[in-house]
Amino acid sequence: MPIPGYILTALVAYLLGSIPTGFLVAKARGIDIRTTGSGNIGATNAFRILGKRAGVFVLLVDALKGWVAVQVAAPFVAHFFEGVPVEHLRIAAGVAVILGHNYTCWLHFKGGKGIATSAGVLVALVPWALFIILGVWGIFFLITRYVSVGSIVAAFGLPFATWFTTGHDIGLTVVTAVLGALAIFKHRRNIQRLLDGTENRIQFKKREALP
């Protein structure tokens, strides 16, 4: 039966996703990132609290978790279970690794928002859709200077981008719709802060005028 293959794939992907990169990087500096800034362990708060280099590192590692789960872990497990479609295991891994990041078992099931990890998953599953929503994210971020606004709009547009770039693949469209909905749900506090006018806006530093 294929069920053990799906269970093992999901378990491996979940544990990979549950590695709390931002928390560990901050802890190495003697900081509990959960108590500073937005309290989130993801890359955006890492940028804000730990600086550019640490933020980039957290972003890349969190994205790598998603890519490895889909491109490495799922095909590896497939070798031990005949008759299980690799593509199905890749999708299961993609969902599980994001859940692992968002609800890590190492921090009482409180993790990040899953944007970077989702990007890693999308690179493996639907790269052209990711390319489109990255453009959407960039446009709305530059217009509003809110990372959360860019992420929410991009998450909403993800299933539409998937539909048009995969030849109307219903399965992948449904999966990315679920991932997009999960990302928006994880931003519910940001949405409330946006409505209250208290959301943190990224400030671009202006160059000092030459004398």
Domain extent at residue 197: 126-202
Domain annotation covers residue 87: yes
Among candidate residues 89, 106, 124, the one where a domain is terminated? 124
Of all helices (H) and strands (E), which one includes residue 65? helix 52-68
In our burial notation (b when 16+ CB lie closer than 10 A, e otherwise), range 8-30 reads: bbbebbbbbbbbbbbbebbeeee
Which residue, chain included where needed, has tokens 């890492």? Answer: 46
Answer for the pair 129, 72: CB distance below 8 angstroms, yes or no.
no
Looking at the structure, do residues 11 and 94 belong to the same domain, yes or no?
yes
DSSP type of residue 36: S
Looking at the structure, do residues 79 and 112 belong to the same domain, yes or no?
yes
Answer for the pair 2, 92: CB distance below 8 angstroms, yes or no.
no
Among candidate residues 124, 152, 180, the one where a domain is terminated? 124
Q: Greatest CA span in the chain, whole angstroms?
A: 75
Q: Strand, helix or coil at 93?
A: helix
Looking at the structure, do residues 81 and 104 belong to the same domain, yes or no?
yes
The number of folded domains in the chain is 2
> Within the chain, which residues score under 70 in pLDDT?
1, 204-211
Answer for the pair 70, 93: CB distance below 8 angstroms, yes or no.
yes
pTM over 0.85, yes/no: yes
Between CA 73 and CA 13 the distance in angstroms is: 7
Looking at the structure, do residues 105 and 35 belong to the same domain, yes or no?
yes
Domain annotation covers residue 196: yes
Answer for the pair 155, 129: CB distance below 8 angstroms, yes or no.
no
Domain annotation covers residue 35: yes
Answer for the pair 27, 82: CB distance below 8 angstroms, yes or no.
no
Between CA 160 and CA 39 the distance in angstroms is: 31
Looking at the structure, do residues 189 and 109 belong to the same domain, yes or no?
no
Smallest Cα–Cα separation from 130: which of 118, 144, 145? 118
Between CA 114 and CA 25 the distance in angstroms is: 17
pLDDT tens readout for residues 37-54: 889 999 999 999 999 999
Looking at the structure, do residues 101 and 178 belong to the same domain, yes or no?
no
Looking at the structure, do residues 174 and 198 belong to the same domain, yes or no?
yes
Looking at the structure, do residues 2 and 106 belong to the same domain, yes or no?
yes
Looking at the structure, do residues 144 and 73 belong to the same domain, yes or no?
no
Between CA 176 and CA 160 the distance in angstroms is: 9
